Amino acid sequence: MNITIGFPEVALITSVFFYQQSWWAGVILASIAVIGRAVDYSIKHSEESERKKQLKEASDALKQSIESLSNTQKKGNFKPTLVFTDPKYDGTPQ
């Protein structure tokens, strides 16, 4: 279990102390803490989903390459190829 103390946690604890002196300062700091934690969570979630997407694309490309190598063709027409698809490739010859 990872326990990290970042800005949102410090701002939340500080808001408790400020709340006793100034209601507005406490509410503003508490709001900043909640918004900061929500933004941090959404960034981590999007990074994880992007990583999973890239891993799936890589495994699909590897699967396609292995399938193309294992295909048996007629004698004399054998052309060993590796197929790696690049999602950014537009089809123009290089």
Q: How many domains does the chain have?
A: 1
pLDDT in tens, 21-32: 899 999 999 999
Q: What is the pLDDT of residues 48-88, one digit of tens each?
A: 999 999 999 999 988 888 887 776 555 556 566 666 677 77
Contact between 85 and 56 under an 8 Å Cβ cutoff? The reply is no
Q: Residue 34's closest CA among 9, 17, 54?
A: 9
Please tell me the predicted confidence (pLDDT) of residue 81: 65
SS3 76: coil
Domain that holds residue 35: 1-94
